[in-house]
């Protein structure tokens, strides 16, 4: 059964919970900032057997009882994921241990959700082709990090895109987030694009830079 939440704007929610520091952080970000991310892509036609994590996990759609075990409702760092859950955006998958405790979460979206994706990410994600899917908002609670969960769960969640006939699955990771980039590599993703987002006085400019086939990850560069 889908998880239903009362819709609310992220900023209003932050105000209600007195997270003024988060609002100020976002304002400073839009005054002047630059973020460079790697666009990563996996070809589902290429076989992949991800390395199992240190604890056995399985993948299933999220259910209501998972949420308080994964996220703190009034934590400003979790506002984006909580907003996704409130808006009932399909489909959030979780990795769960043998006792059904969730230890990972991530959304998989198809081209059918293009209108939402473009609106929600403010056109900072390419328009998906019919044979493409998007993975976003991955999260591993701190207690479960360093166990190889991300790569294994991400690989299996990406594979579910075959259910809606996608061949390619894309995701974006900031270039300085080396642990996540390494996890994506182990999940079968390769760099294919750079996204350079610059904000100045609340004006945004996005530059897309296609990468040659076989481009290395930043941690692989000499």
Could you tell me the pLDDT band of residue 84, with boundaries at 50, 70 and 90?
Answer: confident
Sorted by where each begins, the domain ranges of the chain are 10-220
Q: What is the pLDDT of residue 8?
A: 44
- Among 58-67, 77-86, 152-161, the range scoring the smallest mean pLDDT is 77-86
**CA 113 to chain centroid:** 15
- pLDDT tens for 158-196 read 999 999 999 999 999 999 999 999 999 999 999 999 999
Could you tell me the pLDDT band of residue 4, with boundaries at 50, 70 and 90?
Answer: very low
Q: How far apart are CA 202 and CA 207, in angstroms?
A: 16
Q: What is the pLDDT of residue 5?
A: 45
Strand partners, 38: 173, 194
Architecture of domain 10-220: 3-Layer(aba) Sandwich (3.40)
Q: How far apart are CA 31 and CA 103, in angstroms?
A: 36
Q: Cα-flanking dihedrals φ and ψ of residue 68, to 5°?
A: -65, -20
């Amino acid at each position: 059964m889908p998880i239903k939440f009362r819709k609310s704007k992220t900023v209003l929610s932050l105000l209600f919970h007195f997270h003024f520091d988060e609002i100020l952080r976002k304002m400073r970000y839009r005054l002047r900032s630059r973020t460079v991310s790697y666009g990563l892509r996996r070809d589902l036609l290429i076989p992949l057997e991800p390395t199992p994590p240190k604890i056995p996990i399985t993948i299933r759609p999220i259910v209501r009882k998972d949420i308080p075990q994964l996220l703190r409702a009034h934590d400003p760092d979790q506002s984006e994921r909580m907003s996704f859950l409130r808006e009932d955006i399909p489909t959030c998958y979780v990795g769960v241990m043998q006792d059904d405790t969730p230890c990972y979460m991530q959304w998989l979206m198809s081209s059918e959700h293009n209108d939402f994706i473009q609106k929600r990410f403010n056109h900072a994600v390419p328009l998906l082709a019919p044979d493409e899917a998007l993975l976003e908002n991955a999260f591993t609670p701190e207690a479960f990090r360093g166990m190889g969960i991300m790569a294994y769960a991400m690989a299996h969640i990406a594979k579910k895109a075959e259910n809606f006939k996608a061949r390619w699955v894309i995701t974006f990771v900031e270039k300085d987030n080396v642990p996540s980039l390494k996890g994506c590599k182990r999940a079968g993703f390769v760099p294919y694009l750079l996204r350079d987002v610059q904000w100045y006085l609340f004006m945004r400019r996005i530059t897309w830079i296609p990468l040659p086939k076989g481009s290395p990850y930043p941690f692989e560069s000499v």
